[in-house]
C-alpha cells in the first residue's frame, strides 16, 4: 500500500510536470458531468467508508459523495470510489486523480494553505482518543507513560500524539503503519499497548474488527479537535461552492424535517425556504450552475444529515454512536447550515 | 609535411557542410542536447507554475521546521521537537543500519547455502535447494508481512515475556537484552582491537614471506585470532574489568533499560537476508561450478587439503565470476529495504512519506529519496568495482 502512496506522490510530480493534465483551474464540474464524480474514500473505516463483501461502498463519507453526484447528475450510482490511505489522499487530490476527498480528513491551517487544499463544511465533529485492551487496567490517558502506541502515518493523529506526550512530559514509542488492516492487526495481536486515532474511528473499528469488542475500551480523554470535512483542490471556486451548499442542503433538510421519504410531499410545502431549496421556487440551482432539482435529488438519494448519521453510525447500527456534538444546533449540537437563499 | 598534404587534399575534397558526416554529426548532437535541455527546462518550468497555481508550498525550507511527529526507533537522539531534516537523517541511518547488516548476513547465508547446494550429502543438497526455490520465488513484500506476523504473534506481551537467558527477554515488543554501561575502557578496547588487527595483518604477511623463502609455515591464523581477541581482553582486565550492565526491567507497559531489537527490524532483516541469500547462493554456486574440475584435481595432486583447495585455488577463481552479480544483490538489498514501510520500520522512505504528507511537498521529498538511494547505490557500486578490479584476472 505504501508503494501506492509512493506512486501517488510520483503522480503528483507527474501533474506538477504537466503530464497528468487534470489540474486545470475551474472546470471540475464539467469533468464530473461527463465522467461521474471520482471520490477519494477511506480504505476501511466502518460507518464512514468501507466496502462490503461485494465491494459496494457505504458509510457517511460515501453518502456525502453520493449526495454531490445526485445534485449534479441526479444519479448517485455514478460515483467512482477510490480508496485512499491517509498518506495517499492529498497527493491523489492534488494530482487530479480524484475530484473530492471524503476521507475523514481533519481541517487544519497547514492543509488549507501549504497543501493547496480547500475544505467544505464539517460533516463530523470528532476528537482524538486512545483505545486500550481492558486487561491492561488503564483508566485514563494520563497513565500511558512508556506505552507503545499504534498510529497511522500522515494523519493529524500522529502529530497530536507527539504534542500530547510532550505537553504531559510522558514517553511513548510509536509504531507507524499505513495500511489500516495491518495496523489494527498489530494492535489486536498485542504489538501495541494502545491505538490512537479519531475516537469515532476507534469505536467503529472496535465493533468492526475486534473478535471480542468488549475486551477493548476507549479512554475518556479527547486530546484534540478533529473537524472532519470534505476536501477539494485550490483554484475551482464554483466546485467549492457546490460542495458547500450540497452539504448545507443535507443539514438544512434535517432542520426542516425533509427526509428521503417525504421529499416529494415537501415540494408542495408552503414554506418559502423549503420551496427555494427544493427548486419549486427556481434560482438556487442556477446560481450554483446546477439543475434546479439539485437539493431534491441529493435528499432523495441519501436522505438528510440525520438519516445519513442514523443509517451509518447511529444507535441502530453495530457502531451505535450518540449524536453528541453532531446533533443539530437547535438540539445542542454543532450542526448548523448557512441560509439557503 | 606529409600530414599537411593530406590535410590540404582533404580540405579541397571536402563535401559541402550538409553532406559532411563530421559536420552533420556535430549538428545532430548539438540539436539532440538542445532538445533534451529544452524538454527538462519545460518540465521544471511547468512544475513550478503548476505548484504555484495550486498554492502548494515549495522549496527545502521545511527541513528546518519542527517535525512534531514521533519515530519508534532511532540510532541517533531524536524527539518530536527536532526538525524534519533531523527526522530525515534518522530515516537514513535506519536504512543504512539494516542495509549494512543485511549485506553482511545475506553474504554469509548465501555462501553457506551455495556451498551446501554443492555438498556431497544428498540431504544437505536437497534442503539447500528447497530453501533457494522457496524463498526466491515468493515476493519479498509477502515474506516481510509473514515474518512480521510471526515475530509479533509468536511471543506474548511484555508482562508475560519469556526469559530465554538471564536478563534477556523475548516478547511481542521484540528482544530486550542487557548492554554494558558506558566506560572509558571501551574506547581503549576499540583502539586495542584496531591495533591488534593491524598487527595480525603484518604478522600474516611476514609469515607468508617467510614461507616463500624458507618453506617453514607460520600459524598466522591462530596468532591473528589470539591478537585480535587477546589484546582488547588484556586492556579490559587492565582497567579492572569494569563491566556494569544496563539490565532491562519491566516498568509499566514495557521494559526500560538495556537494548532492544523490535519485531519490525527483526522481520525486515530476516526477510532481506533470507530472500537475498537465496539469490546469492545461486551466484556462489555458479561461481564455484565455473572453475573447472581440473583445478581441484590439480590442487589435490599438489597435496592441498580440502579447505586449502577451496580457499587457495577454487575461491580466488570463483570470485571473478561471483563479484559482479553480487554487486547487484547488494544494491537490491539496499533498495528493497524501502519495503520497511509496509511493516512499520521507520526507514528513509517511511519517514520521508510522513514528511511529504505533513508538509505536502511531494516533489522535494521524492527528489530527496531518489538522491539518497542513488548516492548509496553509487557508493556500493564504486567499492564493489574496486574490489572486482582487485580479484579480476590481470591481463598481461
pLDDT in tens, B60-112: 888 888 888 889 888 888 988 899 999 999 999 999 999 999 999 999 999 99
Q: Would the CB atoms of B56 and A172 count as touching at under 8 Å?
A: no
CA A61 to chain CA centroid, nearest Å: 4
Its pTM surpasses 0.90 = no
Task: State residue B11's pLDDT score.
Answer: 59
Q: What residues of B are in contact with residue A148 (Cβ under 8 Å)?
A: 173, 253-254
Annotated domain spans of chain B:
16-53, 84-152+265-391
pLDDT-above-90 percentage for chain A: 62
Element at A142 (helix H, strand E):
none
**DSSP letter (8 states) at residue B256:** E
CA dist., res. A310 & res. A60, Å (int): 10
Q: What residues of A are in contact with residue B56 (Cβ under 8 Å)?
A: 94, 114-116
Question: Has residue B153 got a pLDDT over 80?
Answer: no
The alpha carbon torsion through A143, A147, A153, A154 (nearest 10 deg) reads: 30
Q: Is A16 within 8 Å of chain B by CB?
A: yes
CA dist., res. B119 & res. B240, Å (int): 48
CA dist., res. B124 & res. A135, Å (int): 47
Please measure the distance between the N-terminal and C-terminal CA atoms of chain B and give it in whole angstroms. Answer: 37
**DSSP letter (8 states) at residue B218:** -
Question: Has residue A178 got a pLDDT over 80?
Answer: yes
**What fold, for A2-125+228-331?**
D-Maltodextrin-Binding Protein; domain 2 (3.40.190)
For chain A, the 3-state helix, strand and coil shares in percent, each to the nearest 5, are: 45, 15, 40
Q: Which of A146, A179, A191 sits opposite B152 (nearest CB)?
A: A191
Q: Would the CB atoms of B72 and A16 count as touching at under 8 Å?
A: no
Which homologous superfamily is A128-224 in? Answer: Periplasmic binding protein-like II (3.40.190.10)
Question: Has residue B387 got a pLDDT over 70?
Answer: yes
Annotated domain spans of chain A:
2-125+228-331, 128-224
- Minimal C-alpha gap between B117 and chain A (Å): 35
pLDDT tens-place string over residues A30-41: 999 999 999 999
Beta bridge partners of B249: B256
Question: Has residue A7 got a pLDDT over 50?
Answer: no
Q: CATH topology of A2-125+228-331 equal to that of A128-224?
A: yes
B84-152+265-391 classified as CATH 1.10.3720.10? yes
Q: Would the CB atoms of B360 and A94 count as touching at under 8 Å?
A: yes
Q: What is the mean pLDDT of residues B24-36?
A: 92
Average pLDDT, chain B: 86
ipTM, two decimals, is 0.73
Task: State residue B225's pLDDT score.
Answer: 86
CA dist., res. B337 & res. B317, Å (int): 31
Q: Would the CB atoms of A158 and B70 count as touching at under 8 Å?
A: yes
Q: What residues of B are in contact with residue A20 (Cβ under 8 Å)?
A: none
C-alpha closest to that of B337 among B355, B352, B349, B353:
B349
Give helix A2-16 / helix B348-359 axis angle, nearest 10°: 50
CA dist., res. B280 & res. B332, Å (int): 11
Q: Which of B53, B72, B81 sits opposite A176 (nearest CB)?
A: B72
Task: State residue B83's pLDDT score.
Answer: 93
Q: Which of A148, A154, A186 sits opposite B253 (nearest CB)?
A: A148
Beta bridge partners of A195: A131, A150
- Minimal C-alpha gap between A67 and chain B (Å): 26
C-alpha closest to that of A197 among A169, A176, A212:
A176
pLDDT tens-place string over residues B204-238: 888 888 888 888 877 877 888 888 888 888 888 88
| Polymer length in residues for chain A | 341
Amino acid at each position: 500500500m505504501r508503494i501506492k502512496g509512493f506512486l501517488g506522490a510520483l503522480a503528483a510530480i507527474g501533474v506538477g510536470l504537466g503530464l497528468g493534465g487534470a489540474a486545470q483551474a475551474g472546470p471540475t464540474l464539467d469533468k464530473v458531468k461527463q465522467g461521474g464524480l471520482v471520490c477519494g474514500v477511506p480504505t476501511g473505516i466502518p460507518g464512514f467508508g468501507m466496502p462490503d463483501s461485494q465491494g459496494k461502498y457505504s458509510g457517511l463519507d460515501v453518502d456525502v459523495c453520493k449526495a454531490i453526484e445526485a445534485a449534479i447528475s441526479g444519479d448517485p450510482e455514478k460515483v467512482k470510489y477510490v480508496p485512499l490511505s491517509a498518506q495517499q489522499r492529498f497527493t491523489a487530490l492534488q494530482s487530479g486523480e480524484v475530484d473530492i476527498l471524503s476521507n475523514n480528513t481533519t481541517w487544519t491551517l497547514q492543509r488549507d494553505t501549504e497543501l493547496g487544499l480547500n475544505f467544505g463544511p464539517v460533516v463530523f465533529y470528532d476528537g482524538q482518543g486512545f483505545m486500550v485492551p481492558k486487561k491492561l487496567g488503564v483508566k485514563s490517558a494520563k497513565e500511558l507513560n512508556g506505552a507503545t502506541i499504534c498510529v497511522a502515518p500522515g494523519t493529524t493523529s500522529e502529530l497530536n500524539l507527539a504534542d500530547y506526550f510532550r505537553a504531559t512530559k510522558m514517553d511513548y514509542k510509536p509504531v507507524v503503519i499505513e495500511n489500516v488492516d495491518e495496523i489494527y492487526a498489530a494492535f489486536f495481536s498485542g504489538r501495541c499497548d494502545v491505538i490512537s486515532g479519531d475516537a469515532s474511528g476507534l469505536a467503529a473499528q472496535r465493533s468492526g474488527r475486534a473478535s471480542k469488542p468488549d475486551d477493548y475500551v476507549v479512554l475518556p480523554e479527547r486530546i484534540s479537535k478533529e473537524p472532519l470535512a470534505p476536501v477539494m483542490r485550490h483554484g475551482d471556486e464554483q466546485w467549492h461552492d457546490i460542495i458547500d451548499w450540497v452539504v448545507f442542503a443535507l443539514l438544512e433538510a434535517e432542520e426542516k424535517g425533509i427526509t428521503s421519504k417525504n421529499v416529494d410531499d415537501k415540494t408542495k410545502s408552503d414554506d418559502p425556504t423549503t420551496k427555494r431549496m427544493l427548486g419549486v421556487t427556481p434560482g438556487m440551482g442556477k446560481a450554483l450552475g446546477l439543475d434546479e432539482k439539485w437539493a431534491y435529488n441529493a435528499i432523495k438519494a441519501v436522505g438528510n444529515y440525520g438519516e445519513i448519521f442514523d443509517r451509518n453510525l447511529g444507535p441502530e447500527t453495530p457502531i451505535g454512536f450518540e449524536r453528541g456534538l453532531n446533533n443539530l444546533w437547535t438540539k445542542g449540537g454543532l450542526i448548523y447550515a448557512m441560509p439557503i437563499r | 609535411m606529409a600530414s599537411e598534404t593530406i590535410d590540404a587534399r582533404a580540405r579541397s575534397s571536402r563535401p559541402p557542410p550538409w553532406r559532411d558526416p563530421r559536420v552533420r554529426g556535430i549538428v545532430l548532437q548539438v540539436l539532440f542536447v538542445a532538445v533534451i535541455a529544452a524538454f527538462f527546462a519545460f518540465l521544471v518550468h511547468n512544475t513550478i507554475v503548476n505548484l504555484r497555481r495550486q498554492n502548494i508550498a515549495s522549496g527545502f525550507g521545511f527541513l528546518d521546521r519542527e517535525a512534531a511527529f514521533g519515530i519508534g526507533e532511532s540510532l541517533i537522539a531524536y524527539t518530536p521537537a527536532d526538525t524534519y531534516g533531523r527526522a530525515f537523517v534518522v530515516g537514513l541511518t535506519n536504512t543504512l543500519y539494516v542495509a549494512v547488516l543485511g549485506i553482511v548476513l545475506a553474504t554469509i547465508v548465501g555462501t553457506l547455502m551455495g556451498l551446501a547446494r554443492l555438498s556431497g550429502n544428498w540431504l544437505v543438497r536437497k534442503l539447500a535447494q528447497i530453501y533457494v526455490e522457496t524463498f526466491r520465488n515468493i515476493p519479498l513484500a509477502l515474506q516481510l508481512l509473514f515474518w512480521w506476523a510471526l515475530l509479533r504473534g509468536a511471543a506474548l506481551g511484555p508482562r508475560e515475556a519469556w526469559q530465554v537467558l538471564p536478563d534477556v527477554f523475548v516478547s511481542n515488543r521484540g528482544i530486550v537484552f542487557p548492554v554494558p554501561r558506558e566506560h572509558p575502557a571501551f574506547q581503549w578496547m576499540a583502539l586495542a582491537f584496531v591495533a591488534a588487527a593491524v598487527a595480525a595483518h603484518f604478522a600474516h604477511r611476514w609469515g607468508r614471506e617467510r614461507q616463500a623463502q624458507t618453506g617453514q609455515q607460520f600459524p598466522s591464523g591462530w596468532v591473528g585470532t589470539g591478537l585480535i581477541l587477546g589484546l582488547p581482553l588484556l586492556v579490559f582486565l587492565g582497567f579492572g574489568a569494569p563491566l556494569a550492565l544496563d539490565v532491562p526491567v519491566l516498568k509499566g507497559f514495557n521494559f526500560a533499560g538495556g537494548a532492544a531489537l523490535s519485531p519490525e527490524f527483526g522481520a525486515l532483516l530476516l526477510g532481506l537476508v533470507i530472500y537475498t541469500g537465496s539469490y546469492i547462493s545461486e551466484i556462489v554456486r555458479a561461481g564455484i561450478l565455473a572453475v573447472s574440475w581440473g583445478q581441484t584435481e590439480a590442487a589435490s595432486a599438489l597435496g592441498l587439503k580440502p579447505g586449502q583447495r577451496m580457499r587457495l585455488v577454487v575461491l580466488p577463481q570463483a570470485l571473478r565470476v561471483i563479484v559482479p552479480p553480487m554487486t547487484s544483490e547488494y544494491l537490491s538489498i539496499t533498495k528493497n529495504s524501502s519495503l520497511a514501510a509496509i511493516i512499520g520500520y521507520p526507514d528513509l522512505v517511511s519517514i520521508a512519506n510522513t514528511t511529504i504528507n505533513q508538509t505536502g511537498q511531494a516533489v522535494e521529498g521524492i527528489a530527496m529519496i531518489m538522491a539518497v538511494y542513488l548516492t548509496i547505490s553509487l557508493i556500493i557500486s564504486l567499492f564493489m568495482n574496486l574490489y572486482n578490479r582487485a580479484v579480476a584476472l590481470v591481463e598481461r
